[in-house]
Amino acid sequence: MLLDVIFNAFNGLIVGSFYALMAIGLSLILGLNGVINFAHGGFMALAAYFAFTLVPYVGFWGALIIAPLLAGAVGYAVEQLIIRRLYLRDPLYSLLATFGLALIMQDLMRTIWGAQGLPLAIPDFLNQPVSEVYFFVTGYRIFVVALAILSTGALFAVLRYTRLGVRIRAGNADLETIAALGVNIYLLRSANFVLGIMFAGLAGILAAGQLGLTPTMGDSLIMPSFVAIVVGGVGSLLGSLLGGLIIGVASGITTAFYPAASEVVIYLIMGVMLIVRPRGLFGQEGLFE
């Protein structure tokens, strides 16, 4: 039983780091753009379908780089055409707009690639367990965890040490002031939105490698990322990472004792967090308070 719990906790860390990777993009966009991007799952799926289409030409690794860029380009268009017009309005407008967008994207993907699930081939050497005992640790999952850590680290460095990053953080803190200081906040928000979408794309491709592609794949992936953000705190990347890990491990350990509750437990944690500390672990004060 103890081994069982340890296995499940360990497995939860792997799952959680994937949740975190998905949550980062969402968190970025929520922070600076002030948009609860319901279409995030749609962008995940879109990038995954781009990757599926590209794999025969550029291989898995090429697709892993190019497809998020393409999704980012679509994200740029969406920001220019739809999101940008809603910044000055109540957040409810952008929430509804992105919700509608999510449905449209889903149907577009169904029309283009079909409702039938499609497999995304990943390199063979990643597709097997690394040891007999820890059978649930596959090369692919290690790769996903490594990428989650790496990209969070890279993003953290960008935000900390580059001019763009400093501006994004400053904008998070006080958008009006940096606008008054001469920063083009529209450009800044576009760049930030695109960055967020590219993270969504990366997460989507990685998810497809394990689960395959369906037009609705984003739906089931996006809920845990929302929960991770709420638990970790809006606007905090470290918080999103930690939030993802916490719900991953909690869900894993619950499976060891009572599998039917493994889904519910993450919402329970979110509920408790919202009551005890509405801003989340590392969130800014005021966003949800």
Partner 1 sequence: MPDIGKLEQLGRRNLLKSGAVVSVGLAAAPVGAFAQAAPVKIGHIDSTTGNFAVLGDSQIKGAQLAAKELNAKGGILGRPVQVLVEDDAGLPATAIDKAGRLLNQEKVDFFSGSTSSAVSLAVSKFAEQNSKLYMCTGGHVDKLTGSACNWATFRVCSTTWILTDGDSKILVDKFGKKWYFLTTDYAFGHSEQADYTKQVTALGGTILGGALVPVGTTDFSSYLIQAKAAGPDVLCLLLAGDDQINAMKQITQFGINQSVAVGGALFELEQIAALPEQARYGVWTFEWYWNQPGVPHVADFVQRYNTAYPGLYPSQRSWFGYVSVHAIALGCKKANSTDSVKVAKALEGLVLPPEIALQPGAPVFRPEDHQLMLGMFPGSVNQQGVYPHLMNIFDYVPGASIAQPPSQTGCTLSYPA
Binding site for partner 1 (CB under 8 A): 3-4, 7-8, 11-12, 14-15, 106, 110, 115-119, 121, 127-129, 135-136, 138, 140, 207, 210-212, 214, 216-217, 219-221, 251-252, 255-256, 259-260, 262-263
Nearer of residues 7 and 193 to partner 1, judged by Cβ: 7
Q: How far is the CB of 201 from partner 1 (least distance, A)?
A: 18
Nearer of residues 23 and 221 to partner 1, judged by Cβ: 221
Nearer of residues 239 and 252 to partner 1, judged by Cβ: 252
Q: How far is the CB of 222 from partner 1 (least distance, A)?
A: 11
Q: How far is the CB of 268 from partner 1 (least distance, A)?
A: 14
Q: How far is the CB of 215 from partner 1 (least distance, A)?
A: 8
What are the beta bridge partners of residue 118?
213
Nearer of residues 80 and 220 to partner 1, judged by Cβ: 220
d(CA 266, CA 244): 10
Nearest CA to 270 out of 236, 225, 208 is that of 225
Q: How far is the CB of 210 from partner 1 (least distance, A)?
A: 7
Residues 6+ away with beta carbon under 8 Å from 20: 148, 152, 228, 240, 241, 242, 243, 244, 245
Q: How far is CA 69 from CA 19, 36, 63, 194, in A?
A: 21, 21, 10, 9
**8 Å CB contact between 172 and 166:** no
The two structure tokens encoding residue 107: 């149907």
Nearest CA to 145 out of 12, 5, 43 is that of 12
Q: How far is the CB of 25 from partner 1 (least distance, A)?
A: 18
Nearer of residues 94 and 254 to partner 1, judged by Cβ: 254
Residues 6+ away with beta carbon under 8 Å from 114: none
**8 Å CB contact between 233 and 279:** yes
DSSP 8-state symbol, 129: B
Nearer of residues 91 and 114 to partner 1, judged by Cβ: 114
